[in-house]
Structure 1
Amino acid sequence: MLVARSDRPLSELPAVRGVAALEESVLRAGWRSAKLDGDPDGVLPALVADTGAPVLTAYVLDSDLADVQALTPGGLSWRAYLHEETALEYGAPSPPYPRDEVLQRATAWAVEADLTATATALEAALDNQNVFVEDTFAELLDALGLTSPS
C-alpha cells in the first residue's frame, strides 16, 4: 500500500508504472492511497522524488502484519510493524527504532506533511491488534491526520 500527496492517481506516477493498482482512494487534502499488486524496488525514495512530498508505504502479509515505512523529502524516515508480535513470530528482523523514537519520527513526519498527529494517537494505533491489519493501518492513517481534518 502506498500513501502520498499527488494531484493525479498514484498509479500514474513513474515510480509505480508497470505495477497494477488493485484499488486507489482519495484521502484528504490532496492525499491518496493505492493498493498495488506487487512491491516495486526503491518505491519509497522514488515516490518522494515524484511527488516532492512525504510518502508512506505498508507491505501487508496475509492481513496478519504490515511493515510500514515512511520518508520525507528532507530525509526523515521511520519504520514500524503493525501487529509487531506477529511480525516477529513470522521471522521479521527486530524493529530498527525503539518505540519512543518511532513516535517522535512519525510525529515529525506528519509535521513535514502538513498534518496533525499526536504521539498518544500514534501509539494507540501502533498498539492496536485488530483481526485484520488493514483495519489497524486505517487507524494509523487516521492517527497521522490523513483521513480526518487536521
Structure 2
Amino acid sequence: MADDLTAHLSLLADVVKETGHPVLAAYIADSDYGRLAGSSPNSGLWHTWLDRRTAYAFERDHQVMAGLPKAAAVAHAQGLIQTTGLRPTEAARRVASWATDAGYHASATSIRQIIDLRRPPGISAWLRLPWARFVFAEEMFFAILDHLGVPRRPA
C-alpha cells in the first residue's frame, strides 16, 4: 500500500509541475475504501483516506493472510492508517483550499462529512437491501466532485 501511495503522489506532483494546474485523483480499492489525493501550485500535495476504517481492516487482514501474527498485523495496520493520509478535518480544509486554487468553491464542513462517512453499523445494516448496506468509496469521490462543483461530462 505504501509503495503504491508514493508512486501515485509522485505522479500527481509531476502533473502539477508540468501543467501548472491543480490535479485531483482517487484510487478506489474494489469499492471498499480509497485514497483521495490532490495537488496544486498554491496548496501543495495532500491525501486522505475514503473510509479509513475499512482501509485499516483490509490492511490488517492482508497482513494476517501474509503470515503476520494478528497482534503484529493490527499494530502494522494502525500505524499505516494513522501515519498516512490526513485526518478528515484537515483533509476537508485542504480539499477546500484545492477547490479555490482550481477555481471552484467548496465548504470544508460538507467535504468533511463526506470524507468521514461510515458504513452502517451492526446487524441492522444486513437487514437493508444489498445496495443500501454500504457507502461505496467511488460514491464518496463523486459526492466530493459534486460538492466542489466539478462539471460532469454529458453521457
Q: CA deviation at 1:75?
A: 4.9
**Candidates 97, 105, 110, aligned match of 1:116:** 105
Q: Which has the higher helix share?
A: 2
Query: SS at 2:28's partner residue?
Result: strand
Q: Match of 2:146?
A: 142
RMSD: 2.3
Q: Match of 1:106?
A: 95
Q: Which has the higher strand share?
A: 1
Identical positions, percent: 32
User: Rg bigger for which structure?
Assistant: 2
Count of equivalent residues: 110
Amino acid at match of 2:38: A
TM-score by length of 2: 0.61
Tell which has more relative contact order, 1 or 2 (C-alpha 8 A, sep 6+). Answer: 2
Query: Gaps (5+ residues) in structure 1?
Result: 1-38
**Candidates 35, 38, 43, aligned match of 1:67:** 35
TM-score by length of 1: 0.63
Query: Gaps (5+ residues) in structure 2?
Result: 1-6, 60-76, 119-133
Which residues in structure 2 correspond to 1:1-150 (within 5 Å)?
42-91=10-59, 93=80, 94=82, 95-129=84-118, 130-147=134-151
Query: SS at 2:138's partner residue?
Result: helix
